[in-house]
Amino acid sequence: MAQTVLLDVSGVLYQGSRAIPGAVQALSRLRAAGRQVRCLTNSTRRPKRRIVAKLQDLGFDIQPEEVFTPVAAALAWLERTGHSPHLLVHPALEEEFRGCKDGGPPAVVIGDAGEAFSYDNMNRAFRVLLEGAPLIALADNRVFLDGDGRLSLDAGPFIKVLEFAGDAKPKLFGKPDPEFFRAAVASTGAEPQQAAMIGDDAESDVAGALAAGLAAGYLVRTGKYRKGDESRCKPAPTATVADVQEAVDRLLAQDGE
């Protein structure tokens, strides 16, 4: 039985400014069936407080401690190692790093910076890497579904540029890093083999979760999903379903509920 269910946020629970039809009810059904729920997002264009507020405004029964973002793990690493962040992130995310120490050895921290991915900003980060700074990647997704309904470049391609030019191996903190999934599952008291993932990204969400040892990974045909995604990544999804409602149907039916 999947005691814990992990869900991606954008593309699974909501798209743009609206909840995906049936998603609020699907989350409620999981809770009513006694499942622990955690939301995992690689979104790095807004701080966690705004992600939680948006979910709550859309009607989702979600508390801050149930939402996992890569930033918290990166902040813990910075504090543990004594590094100071050289930020290449979206301006809206900078508030998350205001409490970081100054004066430590620099670490380049990169997220989805959007318009801040200018040549000057990329080149400054590149030069910091040349001095030996580590490269901290908050997420390495290739693309995301933009507000106009079309795919746009995410942080992944820009991380590859710095990795290539700066000869720096990035340290990843978001999906598909196995520890990101395992930390979310561990917060519920479950083991990875007692958890399932529901996502719209075959690579980062589903294959990443299965590689981390989760029992099941469901790929939804909402959000960034494109026809044939289920055959492009290994491990393959447990099932490809219409939406989060169908994923929850299957999970609960598998457990005889």
Boundaries of every domain in the chain: 4-42+175-254, 74-172
The pTM assigned to this predicted structure is 0.89
Taking the C-alpha atoms of residue 199 and residue 184, their distance in angstroms, rounded to an integer, is 15
Cα angle for residues 44, 197, 212 (degrees, 5° grid): 85
Tell me if 4-42+175-254 shares its fold with 74-172: yes
Contact 35, 28 (CB under 8 A): no
Domain 4-42+175-254 fold is: Rossmann fold (3.40.50)
What are the tens digits of pLDDT across the range 5-62? Answer: 999 999 999 998 999 999 999 999 999 999 999 999 998 989 999 999 999 999 999 9
pLDDT of residue 256: 64
Contact 140/177 with Cβ under 8 angstroms? no
* E strand intervals along the chain: 4-8, 14-15, 18-19, 36-40, 67-68, 84-88, 106-110, 135-137, 143-145, 151-153, 171-172, 195-199, 216-220, 239-241
- Burial class for 216, CB neighbours closer than 10 Å (0-12, 13-18, 19+): buried
Q: How far apart are CA 64 and CA 257, in angstroms?
A: 28
pLDDT of the residue at 192: 97
**pLDDT at residue number 119:** 97
111 near 155, Cβ under 8 Å?
Answer: yes
For residue 149, the model assigns a pLDDT of: 85
> Which of helix, strand or coil describes residue 37?
strand
How deeply is 182 buried, as exposed, middle or buried, from its count of CB atoms within 10 A (0-12, 13-18, 19+)? middle
The CA dihedral of 240, 243, 245, 249, to the nearest 10 degrees, is -10
Q: Which residues of the chain have pLDDT under 50?
A: none
Tens digit of each residue's pLDDT (9 = 90 or more) over 20-32: 999 999 999 999 9
Superfamily for 74-172? Answer: HAD superfamily/HAD-like (3.40.50.1000)
Give all strands of the β-sheet with 106-110 in edge-to-edge order: 84-88, 106-110, 135-137, 171-172
Neighbouring CB atoms inside 10 A of 32's CB total 10
Distance CA 166, CA 221 (A): 37
